[in-house]
Amino acid sequence: MACSSADAPASRDPLAGRGSGALPVETLQVAFAPAVPKPITRTSPAKIVINLETREVRKRLADGVEYTFWTFGGSVPGPMLRVRAGDEVEFHLNNHPSSKMPHNIDLHAVTGPGGGAAASFTAPGHSSQFSFAALNPGLYVYHCATAPVGMHIANGMYGLILVEPAEGMPKVDREFYVVQSEFYTAGRHGEAGVQSFDMEKALHEDPEYVVFNGSVGAVAGDNALKANVGETVRMYVGNGGPNLVSSFHVIGEIFDKVYTEGGSVANQRDVQTTLVPAGGSAMVDMKLDVPGTFILVDHSIFRAFNKGALGMLKVEGGENKTIYSGKQNDLVYLPEGGAVQAVPNEASAAPERELPRNELLARGQQVFAANCAACHQLGGEGVPGAFPPLAKSDFLMADKDRAIGVVMRGLSGEISVNGQKFNGVMPSLALSNTDIAAVLSYVRTNFGNRATDLVSLRDVQRVRAARPKP
């Protein structure tokens, strides 16, 4: 019976339940991305024999673009491995005879020098063997570590190994294996032909391609991940680098649980975007509630739209309009309604009261200068043929109420002033009653006009009340 590590973390020792007998031997069934090896049902340790082949293959990086990848298992990323904490792993690294380069492997799940690199350094056409114990549960990167290490990684030599905790990973309906990585090609993104590795770009951390699962579109279109509404999905996400950190996000979904950096504890809930370190991993769980196509991206967004870091999860099933309704309405948007609204013309806030004579005339002079002089001129002489004179104006002086009405409501039509005909339009002026009284008092006692009485506020109010507003 295996020790359960769930309730006593301090004494967690995956090797403790071993007993003295030899472990049963199993050959590992690997799975190639995006597939994940089946969950482990075994409840006790075993000896797992893993055979991994390193091979240099030329294949598609993008449409029209080929690259000579250095691979584990002939694919980028290499296959996903799955063991259980406490297992003993007998690892065979087989370097295909057609390889030009020696290769080795550093598995981040290994506790030991080089992660196995020193023990697995293998010339082409040869095989190396070493063994290790899977001490810690978690999701770990493995990669080649032969000099020049950057180039071996940059050419595609990485993958993931999942070490399940003794009690197993919590069950989900579907599991997917996705690894982000970059490619540094001599040619620009999309330049056709067989591209070679560009060391300058790798040094400057300026890739031409940032992709999921080893090529542009590897997890999109016909290759999209597929699931159904109502299912819980876990993504085992790796980042082979060699340089960039990923801001992993699934558009339209939220990670219900995140095992940050691929650790063994689901330490975060309700996360939108999680960091996946170069040479690191993350596990994200989500429940699919609505159908649609959900886009996997590195949210350093130019990588997604211009360099290829874009994948798809296609979810089928019934809709749920409460969770997501889609577009409900499409209306014309006019912020002021159908007509142009006029702001009501507020009269001056000046107090309505009878002003004493000098105050009235002083005010009248101001109002005249501000409102009347423009047309009737400062001396009241008007402009012949255009604006009637106010100076010594018979028309003005003949009828005080009529004068008030002209200022208040404007005037159009032919009139005769001092024997001259005028046929223009005088606009109404938005003046307060006080101001009308003042300006008319001023004009009627200036410019040669000799009024004996001023225009009072009461006069103006009477005129305003007498005729309804048009």
Partner 1 sequence: MLVLCGGAWRAAAQSPAVHRYRTVTAGHVRPFYLAGVADTGLAVAAYQLAERAVSNADFLRFVIARPEWRRSRVARIAADPAYLRHWMGDTVLGPDVAASAPVVNVSWFAAHAYAEWSGARLPTTAEWELAAGRFRRALGGTTDRLQVLLLETYSAQASGATASATLRLTSDDGVLGLHGGPWEWVDDFNAVVTSGESRGDGTPDDGLFCAGGAALSADPGNYAAFMRYAVRGSLRGSYALATLGFRVARDAAPLRSRGKR
Residue 95's nearest CA partner among 164, 159, 144 is 144
Among positions 49, 186, 373, 429, the unique one binding partner 1 when judged by CB under 8 A: 186
Q: Which among 148-156, 210-218, 219-227, 420-428 is the span making contact with partner 1, rule CB under 8 A?
A: 148-156
Shortest reach from residue 101's CB to partner 1, in Å: 6
Number of residues in contact with partner 1, rule: CB under 8 A?
36
Phi, psi (deg, nearest 5) at residue 269: -125, 155
243 lies in the binding site for partner 1 (CB under 8 A): no
Shortest reach from residue 195's CB to partner 1, in Å: 9
123 lies in the binding site for partner 1 (CB under 8 A): yes
Residues 378-417 touching partner 1, rule: CB under 8 A, are none
Query: Which residue, 39 or 114, has its beta carbon nearer to partner 1?
Result: 114
Query: Which residue, 119 or 463, has its beta carbon nearer to partner 1?
Result: 119
192 lies in the binding site for partner 1 (CB under 8 A): no
Tell me how far apart the alpha carbons of residues 197 and 209 are, in angstroms, rounded to a whole number: 12
148 lies in the binding site for partner 1 (CB under 8 A): yes
Sign of CA dihedral 30, 36, 41, 47: positive
32 lies in the binding site for partner 1 (CB under 8 A): no
Q: Which among 50-58, 294-302, 368-376, 411-419 is the span making contact with partner 1, rule CB under 8 A?
A: 50-58
Tell me how far apart the alpha carbons of residues 103 and 435 are, in angstroms, rounded to a whole number: 98
Site string for partner 1, 199-218 (x = CB under 8 A): x---x---------------
64 lies in the binding site for partner 1 (CB under 8 A): no
Residue 147: other Cβ atoms inside 10 A: 11
Among positions 19, 24, 64, 125, the unique one binding partner 1 when judged by CB under 8 A: 125
Is there a contact between 157 and 54 (Cβ–Cβ < 8 Å)?
yes
* Burial of 31: CB neighbours in 10 Å, binned 0-12, 13-18, 19+: middle
> Which residues are CB-contacts of 437 (< 8 A; sequence separation ≥ 6)?
355, 360, 454, 455, 456, 457, 459, 460
Q: Which among 116-124, 157-165, 209-217, 278-286 is the span making contact with partner 1, rule CB under 8 A?
A: 116-124
Q: How far from chain centre, in Å, is Cα 321?
A: 23
Tell me how far apart the alpha carbons of residues 158 and 179 are, in angstroms, rounded to a whole number: 9
Shortest reach from residue 256's CB to partner 1, in Å: 38
Residue 117: other Cβ atoms inside 10 A: 22
Query: Which residue, 58 or 226, has its beta carbon nearer to partner 1?
Result: 58
Shortest reach from residue 126's CB to partner 1, in Å: 7
117 lies in the binding site for partner 1 (CB under 8 A): yes
Q: How far is CA 236 from CA 328, 339, 397, in A?
A: 36, 58, 97
187 lies in the binding site for partner 1 (CB under 8 A): no
Tell me how far apart the alpha carbons of residues 306 and 258 are, in angstroms, rounded to a whole number: 27
Residue 152 Rama label (left phi>0; alpha psi -120 to 50; beta): alpha
122 lies in the binding site for partner 1 (CB under 8 A): yes
The interaxial angle of helices 433-444 and 357-367, nearest 10 deg, is 90
Among positions 38, 58, 421, 458, the unique one binding partner 1 when judged by CB under 8 A: 58
Is there a contact between 315 and 251 (Cβ–Cβ < 8 Å)?
no
Is there a contact between 77 and 160 (Cβ–Cβ < 8 Å)?
yes
Query: Which residue, 114 or 277, has its beta carbon nearer to partner 1?
Result: 114
> Which residues are CB-contacts of 158 (< 8 A; sequence separation ≥ 6)?
72, 76, 77, 78, 141, 142, 143, 144, 179, 181, 238, 240, 241
Query: Which residue, 199 or 266, has its beta carbon nearer to partner 1?
Result: 199
92 lies in the binding site for partner 1 (CB under 8 A): no
3-state DSSP: the chain helix, strand, coil percent, rounded to 5? Answer: 20, 35, 50
Query: Which residue, 37 or 214, has its beta carbon nearer to partner 1?
Result: 214
97 lies in the binding site for partner 1 (CB under 8 A): yes
Among positions 17, 114, 277, 424, the unique one binding partner 1 when judged by CB under 8 A: 114
Residues in the chain, total = 470
Is there a contact between 225 and 314 (Cβ–Cβ < 8 Å)?
yes
Query: Which residue, 121 or 387, has its beta carbon nearer to partner 1?
Result: 121
Shortest reach from residue 153's CB to partner 1, in Å: 11
Among positions 197, 371, 456, 464, the unique one binding partner 1 when judged by CB under 8 A: 197
Query: Which residue, 128 or 264, has its beta carbon nearer to partner 1?
Result: 128
304 lies in the binding site for partner 1 (CB under 8 A): no
Residues near partner 1, by CB under 8 A: 56-58, 68, 70, 97-102, 104, 113-114, 117-126, 145-149, 151, 186, 194, 196-197, 199, 203
